[in-house]
């Protein structure tokens, strides 16, 4: 079987739901187990899904638990993510965000700004999902990408160059969306969502010990087909996401000319369930259902199915 890399892009809780459904659909259609990937790179919500995959928790019960309806699922997720009030660290923000932003205007001005919620709930959500396995890093490569606010650079937790942290700490740091969550503080360093640099960070698969045969990229925030009535911020984030991803794909192609890449993005009918607010817990179940329904046609597309068939070995024909 081919050597596979898996890139799970950011996209909030709806993006995570899209990725869970997509990976389950690929597994059902091909028999390939996502945890067999040589390396998994996750950003923000994708880091959460990556942790779930490496913990062997990619199954329906991780999305909808026994006896839950869609409202109960949303309430459970909200209970983790939006229950801890964020601390107002004005001095810290002025020093590391506002002043730096005045020198170099841009997104940095908002990094570390006072937020409504603390990032501790993100850790709790991961711990609840993967259990005790979160205390030790997985044996197989898992990378969770965050952004170091003070250093002004991305940090790829799970690599030798990054600080030693637990999986829940890494995922919380990778998922701390500015203005929504306070920065995650680990050993005195401040981290926020890795998506402020790129929604995918697909180039990090180049850290694999050997060249990969196929890189599968799930990109919830780099769509190329807008939903009807898309808001301005959706178009902006998708445009930036596409630009970053295209540059990363160029890097992969330059380093590994023989490597195939497969990019899967939500289609408009799925986006209708996911947006306009990807952090809205009410989107989780509808996104999951619409994604599963859409994957039959998406995976059956000739360019997709031929790639899966070539690299994942004997597969069941999608009919």
Alpha-carbon Rg of the chain, whole angstroms? 19
In a domain, 224, yes or no: no
In a domain, 221, yes or no: no
Q: Which domain, by its residues, includes 132?
A: 4-15+27-215+230-312
The region of weakest confidence among 14-18, 29-33, 98-102, 246-250 is 98-102
Top-confidence range, 92-101, 106-115, 310-319: 310-319
Specify the number of domains making up the chain.
Answer: 1
In a domain, 319, yes or no: no
pLDDT at 6 (0 to 100)? 99
pLDDT at 103 (0 to 100)? 52
Q: Whole-angstrom Cα distance, residue 23 to residue 86?
A: 33
Q: Which of 106, 189, 204, 194 shows the shortest CA–CA distance to 147?
A: 194
Q: What's the CATH code of the domain at 239?
A: 3.40.1090
**pTM value?**
0.92
pLDDT in tens, 182-195: 889 999 899 999 99
> Averaged over 10-38, what is the pLDDT?
97
pLDDT at 319 (0 to 100)? 47
> Averaged over 121-127, what is the pLDDT?
94
Instruction: Band the pLDDT of 175: cuts 50, 70, 90.
Output: very high
pLDDT at 95 (0 to 100)? 54
pLDDT at 316 (0 to 100)? 57
In a domain, 136, yes or no: yes
Helices (H), ranges, 55-191: 70-81, 90-93, 99-103, 120-130, 167-175
Rounded (10°) CA dihedral 305, 307, 311, 316? 10
The Cβ of residue 253 has, within 10 Å, a number of other Cβ atoms equal to 12
In a domain, 71, yes or no: yes
98 burial (CB, 10 Å; 0-12 / 13-18 / 19+) is middle
Asked whether the predicted pLDDT for residue 129 surpasses 90, the reply is yes
Rounded percentage of the chain residues whose pLDDT exceeds 90? 76
In a domain, 225, yes or no: no
Length of the chain: 319
> Averaged over 197-206, what is the pLDDT?
98
In a domain, 139, yes or no: yes
In a domain, 281, yes or no: yes
């Amino acid at each position: 079987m081919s050597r596979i890399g898996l890139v799970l892009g950011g996209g909030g809780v709806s993006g995570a739901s899209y990725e869970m459904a997509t990976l389950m659909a690929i597994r059902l259609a091909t028999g390939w187990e996502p945890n067999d990937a040589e390396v998994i790179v996750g950003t923000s919500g994708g880091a959460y899904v990556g942790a779930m995959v490496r913990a062997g928790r990619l199954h329906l019960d991780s999305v909808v638990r026994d006896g839950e309806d869609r409202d109960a699922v949303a309430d459970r997720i909200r209970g983790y993510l939006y229950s801890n009030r964020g601390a107002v660290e004005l001095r810290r923000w002025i020093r590391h965000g506002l002043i730096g932003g005045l020198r170099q205007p841009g997104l940095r001005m908002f990094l570390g700004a006072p937020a409504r919620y603390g990032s501790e709930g993100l850790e709790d959500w991961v711990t609840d999902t993967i259990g005790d396995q979160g205390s030790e890093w997985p044996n197989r490569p898992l990378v969770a990408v965050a952004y170091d606010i003070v250093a002004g650079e991305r940090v790829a937790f799970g690599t030798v160059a990054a600080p030693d942290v637990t999986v829940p700490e890494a995922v919380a740091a990778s998922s701390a969306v500015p203005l929504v969550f306070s920065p995650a503080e680990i050993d005195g360093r401040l981290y926020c969502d890795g998506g402020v640099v790129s929604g995918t960070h697909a180039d990090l698969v180049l850290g694999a010990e050997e060249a990969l045969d196929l890189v599968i990229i799930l990109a919830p925030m780099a769509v190329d087909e807008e939903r009807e009535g898309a808001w301005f911020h959706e178009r902006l984030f998708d445009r930036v996401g596409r630009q970053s991803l295209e540059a990363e794909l160029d890097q992969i192609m330059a380093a590994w000319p023989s490597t195939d890449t497969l990019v899967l993005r939500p289609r408009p009918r799925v986006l209708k369930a996911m947006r306009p607010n990807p952090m809205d817990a009410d989107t989780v179940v509808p996104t999951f259902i619409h994604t599963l329904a859409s994957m039959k046609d998406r995976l059956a597309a000739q360019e997709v199915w031929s790639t899966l068939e070539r690299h994942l070995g004997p597969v069941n024909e999608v009919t």
